[in-house]
Amino acid sequence: MERIVILDFGAQYNQLIARRVREQGVFSELLPPMSSIDRIRGEGLSGIILSGSPDSVYAEDGRRCLPEIFELGVPVLGICYGMQLMTHMLGGKVEQAPVREYAGVKAHFEQSPLFSDMPDSTVWMSHNDMVTKAPDGFHVIASTDECPIAAIENTSKRLFAVQFHPEVAHTEYCAQFFKNFTRNICGCTGSWSPENLIDGIINDIRAQVGGRKVVAGLSGGVDSSVAAALVSKAVGDKLTCIFVDHGLLRKNEAEEVMHFYRENMRLNVIEVDAREYFLSQLAGVTEPEKKRKIIGESFVRVFEREAKKIGGAELLLQGTIYPDVIESGSGGASVIKSHHNVGGLPEKFGFELLEPLRPFFKDEVRAIGEALGMPKELVWRQPFPGPGLGIRILGDITEEKLNILRDSDWILRDEIKKAGMDREIWQYFTVFTGMRSVGVMGDSRTYDYAIGVRAVVSTDAMTVEFAEIPHKLLRKISNRIIAEVPHVNRVVYDITDKPPGTIEWE
């Protein structure tokens, strides 16, 4: 398999680099910057990308990579900090930029295989430092008004670097740039796709499982459902699924997903009512990361208990996907938030993990689900976090707050579906903000809760934009929530993109 390794120096744009490479039909993998040469070389290595970073290369604690990566015989591309690091390690000079750039700027490109079919155009700059002298053997191939050395190359050694961020959509020819690197420079054929890997995934599952039993935690979301479909196809009745009603589900969710699992997918599913247990564990807890870890550990404890009842399953199937891993602090990236199935697991528990979807983004998981013939209603179901409504209630969790949140969320989903926008919008939900405000209802003063509405568009959950819902529809949603949900007198709409925000509030 053709494979591009991205050495992750901690920038939050790094997941976008992985996405851009995969969009060209080439598998990409984020690795820590000081990974061993054997780990980097792996199987089918076609190229290496050095990512951006918040560090400075001349700082003592600036992150580094092994110098041997420049001698592996595959193309290496440095992006932003990656360009500065390549320059620094190969004898060039990096200094603080006289003018910091954080915007789209016009770039002039010289003739280079990296910029094939790319006219002078806008690129996205975000840097404090800059290259002031290229290493020996390198040529300058791009410039801007404020950055005379905006890109360099050494074609004989197949080393390339750019100061700008080609992975962000603000760079006009971002797709062409990655096509040039992956196809023209690295020589990849672009034949990779998640659908083409299904047979290989199933074989890998069979190899890991052997003759052992597997227990799967189903949440009702697409990730765990696709994972269960793959494992069921691979090992049949060795898989037992457990659907845990943890009391943090949306309105009518348990009934809907159990119908899909039993009637459509023919899975062996045990339904467990653990509402009282989870809510007792979460009582009085307000800190978001603590909530996630409690929910993650509680899931495992339930699985351990149920596994004993079904004859000692040794493997725990999880629907972990690549964004979960990245946001939980893989490679050199900062921890954004612990996902219950990554950073929220207890250190010791009685299962070996089985995670067949760990390398894939959300849209890739959906493609696998459709290729498996799963019900479209389940494949395209609203993304729902493992911790459920527990992280959509700011502050402590009570049954009253859950009821308010469920009812308001149901109204939002009902109106979005009626408007025909349920496939257009990636994710939409309400948030119990915990804030109270003064209002007037029926000529009387009220002092009740404010509900937040969040709706975003995306393809992979790594970057999102808020959905521009028509004002008339927003008004209808707000009026219904206030009229039909007790103790709510205000509705606010979240218009924050990701980054700088995240999809969830907690």
DSSP string, 124-140: EEEEEEEEEEPPTT-EE
Q: How far apart are CA 89 and CA 288, in angstroms?
A: 41
Side chain identity at residue 190, one-letter code: G
pLDDT at 428: 95
Active site residue 65: no
Please indicate whether the domains covering 195-379 and 398-493 agree at the CATH topology level. Answer: no
- Across the strands, what pairs with 154? 159
Q: How many CB atoms lie within 10 A of CB 372?
A: 17
Dihedral of CA 403/408/414/416: which sign? negative
Task: Kindly state which CATH superfamily the domain 3-185 is placed in.
Answer: Class I glutamine amidotransferase (GATase) domain (3.40.50.880)
Fold topology of 195-379: Rossmann fold (3.40.50)
Residues with Cβ within 8 Å of residue 137, at least 6 apart in sequence: 154, 156, 157
Q: How far apart are CA 102 and CA 500, in angstroms?
A: 14
Angle (CA) 495 282 432, round 5°: 25
Q: In angstroms, what CA-CA distances link 468 with 3, 380, 454?
A: 37, 20, 11
Fold topology of 398-493: GMP Synthetase; Chain A, domain 3 (3.30.300)
Q: How far apart are CA 245 and CA 219, in angstroms?
A: 8
Phi, psi at 332, each rounded to 5°: -100, 5
Q: In angstroms, what CA-CA distances link 360 with 28, 153, 201, 319?
A: 10, 32, 12, 10
Cβ atoms 107, 164 nearer than 8 A: yes
**Structure token digits, residue 19:** 């996405």
Residues, the chain, total? 506
Cβ atoms 125, 166 nearer than 8 A: no
- Across the strands, what pairs with 125? 103
Active site residue 127: no
Q: SS3 of 37, please? A: helix
Phi, psi at 455, each rounded to 5°: -145, 130
Q: How far apart are CA 130 and CA 146, in angstroms?
A: 10
pLDDT tens string, the chain, 506 residues long: the values are 799 999 999 887 788 899 899 999 999 999 999 999 999 998 899 999 999 999 999 898 899 999 999 999 999 999 999 999 999 999 999 998 887 777 889 999 999 999 999 999 999 998 889 999 999 999 999 999 999 999 999 999 999 999 999 998 889 999 999 999 999 999 999 999 888 889 999 999 999 999 999 988 887 888 999 999 999 999 999 999 988 889 999 998 888 889 889 888 889 999 999 999 999 999 999 999 999 899 988 887 887 788 778 777 789 899 999 888 776 555 444 444 444 444 445 555 568 999 999 989 888 999 999 999 998 888 888 778 878 899 999 999 999 999 999 999 999 999 999 999 988 898 999 999 999 999 888 777 889 999 999 999 986 666 788 999 999 999 999 999 999 999 999 999 999 998 788 889 98
Q: What is the DSSP code string of 380-409? A: TPPP--TTGGGGSBSSS--HHHHHHHHHHH
Q: How far apart are CA 407 and CA 401, in angstroms?
A: 10
Indicate the DSSP class of residue 177: H
Cis amide leading into 359 (omega within 30): no
pLDDT at 235: 95
Domains of the chain: which residue ranges?
3-185, 195-379, 398-493
pTM listed for this prediction: 0.73
**Structure token digits, residue 377:** 């209603």
- Beta strands per DSSP E along 187-293: 214-218, 239-245, 269-273
pLDDT at 48: 98
The single residue of 2, 101, 153, 167 carrying the catalytic annotation is 167
Based on its alpha-carbon atoms, the radius of gyration of the chain, rounded to whole angstroms, reads 25
Phi, psi at 259, each rounded to 5°: -65, -45
Q: Strand 315-317 to strand 352-354: parallel, antiparallel, or no bridges (unpaired)? A: parallel
Residues with Cβ within 8 Å of residue 411, at least 6 apart in sequence: 477, 480, 481, 484, 485
Phi, psi at 161, each rounded to 5°: -155, 145
Q: How many CB atoms lie within 10 A of CB 169?
A: 12
Q: How far apart are CA 130 and CA 253, in angstroms?
A: 52
Cβ atoms 349, 223 nearer than 8 A: no
pLDDT at 460: 61
Q: How far apart are CA 427 and CA 422, in angstroms?
A: 8
The single residue of 2, 29, 65, 80 carrying the catalytic annotation is 80
Active site residue 165: yes
pLDDT at 329: 54
pLDDT at 327: 66
Q: How many CB atoms lie within 10 A of CB 24?
A: 20
Q: At what angle do helices 362-371 and 198-209 cross, to 10 degrees?
A: 90
Q: What's the burial of 75, exposed, middle or buried (CB within 10 Å: 0-12/13-18/19+)?
A: buried
Q: How far apart are CA 221 and CA 37, in angstroms?
A: 37
The single residue of 127, 165, 339, 340 carrying the catalytic annotation is 165
Place of tokens 């790094």: 14
Residues with Cβ within 8 Å of residue 251, at least 6 apart in sequence: 406, 407, 409, 410
